[in-house]
Amino acid sequence: MFEPVLLRNMDVPDGHLLSTYEAGGGYQALAKVLREHPPDGVIDLVKQSNLRGRGGAGFPTGLKWSFVPKRAGKPKYLCCNADEGEPGTFKDRIIMERDPHQLIEGMAISAYAIGAETAYVYIRGEYVLAIRRLEQAITEAQAKGYLGSQILGSDFNFAVHIHCGAGAYICGEETAMLDSLEGKRAQPRLKPPFPAVAGLYASPTVINNVETLACVPHIVMRGPAWFRDIGPDKSPGPKLYCLSGQVRKPGLYELPMGISLRELVEEHAGGPLPGRRIKAVIPGGVSAPLIPERGLDVGMDFDSLSAAGSMLGSAGVIVIDDSTCMVKVATRIIEFFHHESCGKCTPCREGLNWAVKVLRRIEAGEGAPGDREQLEALCKGIFGNTFCALGDGAAMGLRAALAHFEPEFVAHIDGRRCPFH
Amino acid sequence: MREQIEAAAARYPDQRSAIMPALLIAQKEHGYLPAPVLEEVADILGVERIWVYELATFYTLFHTTPVGRFHLQLCDNVSCMLRGSEDLLRHLEAVLGIEKGGTTPDGLFTLSTVECLGACEMAPVMQVGDDYHGDLDIARLGALLDRLCKAAGQVTSAERVVVGAPGG
């Protein structure tokens, strides 16, 4: 039985209150850091832990922090990416609703490490309860001196502000988020320069996901070796998995990184619904290519899933059973990406528009010979030809559906109807 | 409104950053964001009007046209679709007598589908105002509509079906 780390306060009554958090040893990691470690020492600790970003890309967190120039001559910023929009993902919402101080402590330690005195939490506007809980937690932390000036008697000053999003998936892309924070339409920037050098207000900026930041206090208290010993060495740590779709026990599960997808779905989440069989699983939100049932014996970590042609992404695990039409799933996924395309890059904006039209007509039984090849050509035109990964995610997802479920597409086109309706 | 917007603006080194929070404040106050409200926001912050317009029309949570008193925002992304959100949408359209995107003639309900609400563990899920309603089925949806109607002092959705919409 894996002892929960990030979710340890989930079922504690009033787990969101400072008193509960302190009773469980909360803010001792911040105190320890301020007492014992210079900022570089904290970066080293996190580097040694091999913590990798939980937002989707899996970039080594300590390395990201080390890119921030020591002497910038400008204020530095920490941004917390809480714009959890990847379909199938709900882990960050639950952390913020039920244990927001864990995030605030992680932010304070991170800000100290990179030399930032201001942080913005970019949180999606729909998450009303999470916003209220986080606001309350910030107020409590300020009153107790965990935020503010000369924190715990040190010379470290730090303030956290909440910035509410207003419904745009693209804001999860870090440079689009920065533009949104600057009061512009959220559209990704050309990189370089990377945010660590020129991010928010052209100042050095680190952007980390909620779950990533929540890991930091635990690494400080228990040490990098403890963290590295959980799961694969190059992709370690406790991990939150979001289970949803056609599965008996949907929910949030905390288990070691690297657990097999089959064990996660069949044992922890109870397997398929009564009388059904699993057909495919999307392992990391809809940007992650789906994996057919025969491929479920794959480790849920960045490297294993990448080797299997998919990705861990946000660990939004969506289970699809044999009652479901894969053309319809693919259509809904591409409709989503089309809706959320910010419109900046032509291949994504126009390519997804056409892909939706072709997919809808196949699903409606009006597909034409050559439509599958047309979809492949559209994917080729989009992939690698855009500023950000939104178009790439769409193309990868569609390619996987076309490759793994070719007979279903063929049956729709040749039979001129959806065999599932 | 001005006071709240100015307090929000103090959190940023640049007034332009405060446009989004200001629009959220203004929408809470007015229900939606008609042009005069957008102009007032621009004036309070001392920023270009076009900067305010371009945000109000980019982000889906901002409404430049009126919405019903209860905005039913049904998630129809993959996880909710796999758990029956399409049936719920058809039911809502029949009971309310409107298509998605529409508002009932009494201005009580606007029906929308939205992309993932980030609550897939309770799919299918719908947001109404600040609240999420999860694990929905036709019966729970009916009970929710009844509560909303009662809160507004209107006939219940069950009566609506009998009286009005076809196919309920």
pLDDT at A249: 98
The pLDDT score that the predictor gives to residue B94 is 96
Split at pLDDT 50, 70, 90, the class of A1 is confident
Residue A5, in any domain of the structure: no
Residues of A with Cβ-Cβ distance to B127 under 8 angstroms:
126
Average pLDDT, chain B: 92
Q: Do A80 and A128 fall within a single domain?
A: yes
Is the pLDDT reported for residue B160 higher than 70? Answer: no
pLDDT score for A395: 97
Helix-helix angle A346-363:A390-404, to 10 degrees: 30
| Residue B166: predicted pLDDT | 39
Nearest to A182 among B14, B23, B58 (CB): B14
Question: What pLDDT does residue A65 have?
Answer: 98
* pLDDT over 80 at B161, yes or no: no
Do A181 and A224 sit in the same domain of this protein?
yes
Distance CA A381, CA A358 (A): 15
Give the domain-ending residue among A228, A248, A283.
A228
Residue B168 lies in a domain: no
Per-residue pLDDT for B165 more than 70?
A: no
The answer to the question of residue A263 being in a domain is yes
pLDDT at B153: 84
Interchain proximity A246–B16, CB inside 8 Å? no
Note the pLDDT of residue A266.
98
The answer to the question of residue A420 being in a domain is no
Domain of A313, in residue numbers: 238-321
Count of Cβ atoms closer than 10 Å to residue A13 Cβ: 8
Q: Which residues of chain B lie closer than 8 angstroms to A93, CB-CB?
A: 118-119
Question: A186 — contact with chain B (CB < 8 Å)?
Answer: yes
Angle between helices A371-382 and A390-404 (to 10 degrees): 150
Closest CA to A381 of A356, A353, A351: A351
- The residue whose two tokens read 């100042």 is A203
Q: Is the pLDDT of residue B168 over 50?
A: no
Average pLDDT over residues B133-157: 89
Interface contact flag, A332 B78, Cβ < 8 Å? yes
pLDDT tens per residue across span A52-71: 999 999 999 999 999 999 88
Residue B132 lies in a domain: yes
Whether A184 contacts chain B with CB within 8 A: yes
Query: Mean pLDDT across the stretch B154-163?
Result: 53
Contact B82 A320 (CB under 8 A): yes
Strand partners, A160: A119
- Read off the CATH number of the domain in which A100 is found: 3.40.50.11540
pLDDT for residue B122: 98
Do B31 and B100 sit in the same domain of this protein? no
Has residue B163 got a pLDDT over 50?
A: no
DSSP A17-81: SHHHHHHTTTTHHHHHHHHH--HHHHHHHHHHHT-B-TTTT--BHHHHHHTS-S--SS--EEEEE
> Is the CB of B118 less than 8 angstroms away from the CB of A340?
no
As separate numbers, helices (DSSP H) first and strands (DSSP E) second, chain A gives 17, 9
Which parts of A84-237 are beta strand (E)?
118-123, 159-164, 205-209
Its pTM stands at 0.96
Among B125, B68, B118, smallest CA distance to A128 is for: B118
pLDDT in tens, A322-381: 999 999 999 999 999 999 999 999 999 999 999 999 999 999 999 999 999 999 999 999
Among A173, A196, A228, the domain-final residue is A228
Range of the domain at B111: 70-163
Q: What is the per-residue pLDDT across B25-79, written as a single tens digit (0 to 9) for each?
A: 999 999 999 999 999 999 999 999 999 999 999 999 999 999 999 999 999 999 9
Average confidence (pLDDT) over A92-107: 98
B120 touches chain A (CB under 8 A): yes
On whether the CB atoms of residues A126 and B119 are closer than 8 A, the answer is no
pLDDT reported for residue A421: 81
The pLDDT of residue B152: 87
Q: Is residue A144 part of a domain?
A: yes
What is the structure's pLDDT at A259?
98
User: Residues B106-133: what's their mean pLDDT?
Assistant: 97
The pLDDT of A145-153, averaged and rounded, is: 98
Over the stretch A267-311, which tens digit does the pLDDT of each residue have? 999 999 999 999 999 999 999 999 999 999 999 999 999 999 999
* Nearest CB to B79; choose among A124, A185, A245: A245
Which pLDDT score is estimated for B156?
Answer: 58
pLDDT value of position B164: 39
Distance CA A234, CA A299 (A): 13
CA distance A55 to B161: 45
Residues of B in contact with A138 (CB under 8 A): none
Q: Is B130 on the interface with A (CB under 8 A)?
A: yes
Residue B162: the pLDDT is 41
Q: Which two tokens stand for residue B117?
A: 């609400």
Cβ contact, residue pair A164, B117, below 8 Å: no
Asked, for residue B64, whether it belongs to a domain, the answer is no
Q: Is the dihedral of CA A165, A95, A264, B132 positive or negative?
A: negative
The domain tally of chain B equals 2
Q: What's the gap in Å between the CA of A348 and the closest CA on chain B?
A: 17
Residues A25 and A169 in one domain: yes
Instruction: Tell me: ipTM over 0.90.
Output: yes
